[in-house]
Structure 1
Amino acid sequence: MKDIIYLDHAASSWPKPPAIMEAMTRCMNEYAANPGRGSHQMAVQASRALFETRKNAAKLFGVKNPNDISFALNTTHALNQAIKGFVREGQHVICTSVEHNSVRRPLEYLREKIGIELTYIKSNVQGELDLKDLEKAFRSNTSLVVMNHSSNLLGTILPVAEVGEMCRARGVKLLVDAAQSAGVLPIHVEDMNIDMLAFPGHKGLLGPQGTGGLYVHSNVELEPLLHGGTGSQSESIEQPTVRPDRFEAGTQNTVGIAGLNEGIKFVLSKTVEEIHKKEWKQTQHLMEALMGIEGVTVLGPALGQNKTGIVSFLIRHTDSSEVAFILDQSFQIAVRAGYHCTPLAHEAVGTLATGAVRASIGYFTKDEEVEALVDAVKEISSQYA
C-alpha cells in the first residue's frame, strides 16, 4: 500500500497527519471513558477533548458558540438531522441539481411521507447556478434552501454567501453541505449567512472516518433525529433542550473526535487559504494535461476558474469503471468511478449514461503523482482511440 498513488480525497483524505493517530492512541490508552457520563478524571478528560474539538471547529467556521456544533457520524448524518429536524408538512424547500444523495434522498423521503414541496434549481454543464432562477423559485411557504458548497462531481464552487443574503432577506434558512469544502475553502457562518452547516471529519479536515458535525444557529430549532441518553437532564422523559446534548444521544466517538481535533488544528495552522492554493495549482495542471490528451473530456469549470481539487473526466469509447479498474490494477492509482452518489449532477452534465472517472487532489498529493496519472491516462486513451 505504500506505493499506491491515492487520488480519492473527495471520498476520504489519506494519509493522515501522524498527530491524528497519536491523539487517538493516547485517548485509547489514557481517557477512553464516556464523556459527560461521570465526574471521574477519565470522563472529565474525555469531555474536555470533545469541547476542545468544538472550540477549534468553531474557530475554523466562524461560529460564536462552540455548543452550537454537535458531532455526527458523517455529513450524511448531519444533513439528515438538519433536514428532517427542520422541514415540516406544507413547507417548500429549494435545492440544486448538483446535490449529493445525502441531500436529495432525505428531501424526496419527506416529499413522499409528508408532502413537502420541492424545487430543484438547474445548473449549467459547468455546475454553475443562475441566481435569477433561485430568485424566481422562492414562494411564500419556502422555509429552507439546501446547497452544497462545492460539487463532488465537478468541483464547482457555488455562491453560498450570495444565496445566504437572498435567504436572509426573505426569512428563509440556509443549510450548506460542506462535504467538499470544510478545511479546503474559507467558511464563516456569520459572514456568509449560513444557518446550518453539515461537515465531514474525514475529508478536508483530515480526521478519521466516523466523524463530522452540524452547526445550527442559535435561532434555529430542530427536532432531534435520535433520542436517548445524554448524561444531562436525565430526570426528564424528553430529550434535553440544551446544546449540544439535544443532538448527541448516546456515547460519542471520543477516540475519533480526539483525532479530528488534531486534523482541525493542522488545517488552522496551515490555513485553508494556503491549502486551497496548493490544491488549486495541482488541479489546474492536471486539467490542462488531461485536456491535451486525444479522446479525453474534462468535466466542470473551465481551466483557470476557481474550483476545489476535483477533476472528473471521460475517455472516449471506455467505461468509467473499467478505467478506474485499470488505473488501480495496472498503475496503482486510486480514483473513483461511476455516479459518485450524485445522479442529478450527472444528468446536468450529460453523463448519466456513462458515469465519470473522478480524480481528487488532497493536501498531501505530490506533483509527481499528478504526472503519473496523466501518463497512465495517456496510455489507456491510446489503446481505445
Structure 2
Amino acid sequence: MEQTDKPVIYLDHAATSWPKPASVLAAMEHSMREEAANPGRGGHRMAVSAGRVLVRTRMLLGRLFGVPNPSDIVFMPNTTAALNQAIKGLLRPGDHVISTMTEHNSVRRPLEYMRRECGVQVDYVPADEAGRIDLDGLSALCRANTRLIVCNHSSNLLGSILPVADIAEIARSRGALLLVDAAQSAGVLDIDVGRLGIDLLAFPGHKGLLGPQGTGGLYIHPSIDLLPLIHGGTGSQSEEADQPSVRPDRYEAGTPNTVGIAGLGAGVRHVLAEGPSVIGRREWELTQELMGHLSAVEGLSLLGPKPGEPRTGIVSFTLQGIDSAEIAFRLDREYGIAVRAGYHCTPLAHRAAKTIDGGAVRSSVGFDTTGTETEALAQAVREIARSVSR
C-alpha cells in the first residue's frame, strides 16, 4: 500500500502538539543564535541572558498556574520525569498512596516500582467506562498512613476530566497530599494550584503549552521537600558536597535545555494570550462535532464521556471487525491523517473501557485544528468501515 501524498491532517495532539506557533520557533532560533550559553554557570553577558530565559519562562508558568513564587516550579524534560521526581522523592517505606484506574503508565509504573522495591502500599480507585471515579470509594480507601493521592486531570484515552478540587478536599481531610498529572490539561483547562488545592503538579511543555519536546516541569508546594533524584552541578553553593536546599536549584542539576525552555516560554505566552478556557472550549466544540459525525458510522463505538459532557480534546473509538492499528495505518497511508492506535500507555483505563483486548484509535484535536480536518477524519472512517462490511 503506497503512502498518500496528501498534506498531513494532524490529529495526534494528545501525544505532541503540532505545528508549533511561529513565535515558538522564533524564540528558539533567537536563543540558539544569541544566548545559548550555560545559565547560572558564568557571569558573562551570554550566561546572564540565558539565565533570564529561565526566569521569564518560570514567571509565565507561575501566571498560568497561579503559583505565587515561580521558584516553586522546576523544569523537567517531560511529565514522566516530573511524576517520577514527585513520587520517588516523596514516598517512603510504609506509606500508602491512592491512584485511579485512568492513570498513564508514567504514574502506574513508578507506583508499582515503589510498591515492589520500597514497601509502599498502593490502591487504585475503579473507574467506569466514561472515566468517572466514585469519590466515596476514594475516601473509603484512605488510611492513617495515606501519604499521597495521585491522579490525572484528564485521561489520555477517554478525555474524561476528574474533579480535582473534590479530590483535593478528600486529601486534605485525611492529611494526604495531592499530585496531579496535567499532561492532557495544561494549557486547555484553567489550573490554579491554590484554588484547586494541588500540592504537586506535573506538566508537559510539548502538548497544550505548545512548546518543544524535551520540556516540562513540576510545581512543588513550598511546604514540601522532595528528595532530589538527580544530584550534581547547579552553579550555586558549589563549595558544598550536598545538593543545594534552595529552589529551583535543588531539583535542576546539570545543564538545562535553555533553547527548549525559550520555546516553552513563547508557547505559554501564546496560551495566556488566548486563554486556556477559550482554547479548551474551542477544542470541546470540535470534539462534539467529531463525535456527532462518528456516531453515525455503523459498528463504531465511542469511548469516554457522552456527547455534551465535559472532556478534553480526545475522541477515542473502536470499529467492529477491524483492528485499531489497521485503522490508524490506513488513515495515515490512504488519507494522510495522523492518529494513534493501541493501548496509549494506559492499560488500566482500557480495562475500565472494556477495550483491553484490542486497544482503540485515539484522535485528538489541538489549538489550531479545523472543522474541515475533523470532517475529513469522519469521512475517512466511514469509508474504511464500508470497505470492511463489503
TM range (shorter): over 0.9
Q: 1:61 aligns with which of 48, 60, 65?
A: 65
Task: Give deviations 1:73-107, integer Å, cap 9, x for gaps.
Answer: 00000000000000000000000000000000000
Work out the CA distance in 2 between the residues paired with 1:328 and 1:53.
Answer: 36
SS in 1 for 2:193: coil
For residue 112 of structure 2, what is the aligned residue in structure 1?
108
Q: 1:308 aligns with which of 300, 306, 312?
A: 312
For residue 362 of structure 1, what is the aligned residue in structure 2?
366
For residue 237 of structure 2, what is the aligned residue in structure 1?
233
Q: Give me the TM-score of the superposition, normalised by structure 2.
A: 0.98
Work out the CA distance in 2 between the residues paired with 1:196 and 1:289.
Answer: 38
Q: Is the 8 A contact 2:28 2:263 kept in 1?
A: yes
Q: 2:151 aligns with which of 126, 147, 150?
A: 147
The answer to whether structure 1 residue 194 and structure 2 residue 198 are counterparts is yes
For residue 183 of structure 2, what is the aligned residue in structure 1?
179
For residue 90 of structure 1, what is the aligned residue in structure 2?
94
Moved over 3 A (4+): none
Work out the CA distance in 2 between the residues paired with 1:280 and 1:126.
Answer: 16
For residue 50 of structure 1, what is the aligned residue in structure 2?
54
| CA apart distance, 1:168 | 1.4
Change (3 A) 1:25 1:2: farther
Q: Is the 8 A contact 1:61 1:188 kept in 2?
A: yes
Unaligned stretches of 5+ residues in structure 1: none
Unaligned stretches of 5+ residues in structure 2: none
Partner amino acid, structure 2, of 1:283 = T
Change (3 A) 1:82 1:2: farther
Work out the CA distance in 2 between the residues paired with 1:226 and 1:57.
Answer: 23
Work out the CA distance in 1 between the residues paired with 2:195 and 2:372.
Answer: 38
Q: Is the 8 A contact 2:6 2:336 kept in 1?
A: no
The answer to whether structure 1 residue 158 and structure 2 residue 162 are counterparts is yes
Work out the CA distance in 2 between the residues paired with 1:84 and 1:116.
Answer: 10
Partner amino acid, structure 1, of 2:385 = S
For residue 23 of structure 1, what is the aligned residue in structure 2?
27
Work out the CA distance in 2 between the residues paired with 1:60 and 1:109.
Answer: 32
SS in 1 for 2:108: helix
For residue 248 of structure 1, what is the aligned residue in structure 2?
252
For residue 11 of structure 2, what is the aligned residue in structure 1?
7
For residue 75 of structure 2, what is the aligned residue in structure 1?
71
Q: Is the 8 A contact 1:206 1:260 kept in 2?
A: yes
| CA apart distance, 1:2 | 8.0
The answer to whether structure 1 residue 353 and structure 2 residue 357 are counterparts is yes
Work out the CA distance in 2 between the residues paired with 1:353 and 1:116.
Answer: 30
Q: Is the 8 A contact 2:127 2:133 kept in 1?
A: yes
Instruction: Report the identity percentage.
Output: 59
For residue 293 of structure 2, what is the aligned residue in structure 1?
289
SS in 2 for 1:147: strand
| CA apart distance, 1:283 | 0.3
| CA apart distance, 1:171 | 1.6
The answer to whether structure 1 residue 383 and structure 2 residue 387 are counterparts is yes
Q: Is the 8 A contact 2:89 2:226 kept in 1?
A: yes
Task: Give deviations 1:89-145, integer Å, cap 9, x for gaps.
Answer: 000000000000000000000100011100000000100011010010000000000
For residue 344 of structure 1, what is the aligned residue in structure 2?
348
Partner amino acid, structure 2, of 1:93 = V
Q: Is the 8 A contact 2:328 2:361 kept in 1?
A: yes
The answer to whether structure 1 residue 266 and structure 2 residue 270 are counterparts is yes
Work out the CA distance in 2 between the residues paired with 1:248 and 1:322.
Answer: 42
Q: 1:36 aligns with which of 32, 37, 40?
A: 40
SS in 2 for 1:218: coil
Q: Is the 8 A contact 1:312 1:356 kept in 2?
A: yes
Work out the CA distance in 1 between the residues paired with 2:39 and 2:200.
Answer: 25
| CA apart distance, 1:66 | 0.0
Partner amino acid, structure 2, of 1:220 = I
Work out the CA distance in 2 between the residues paired with 1:167 and 1:35.
Answer: 38
Q: Is the 8 A contact 1:316 1:384 kept in 2?
A: no
Q: Size of the alignment, in residue pairs?
A: 385
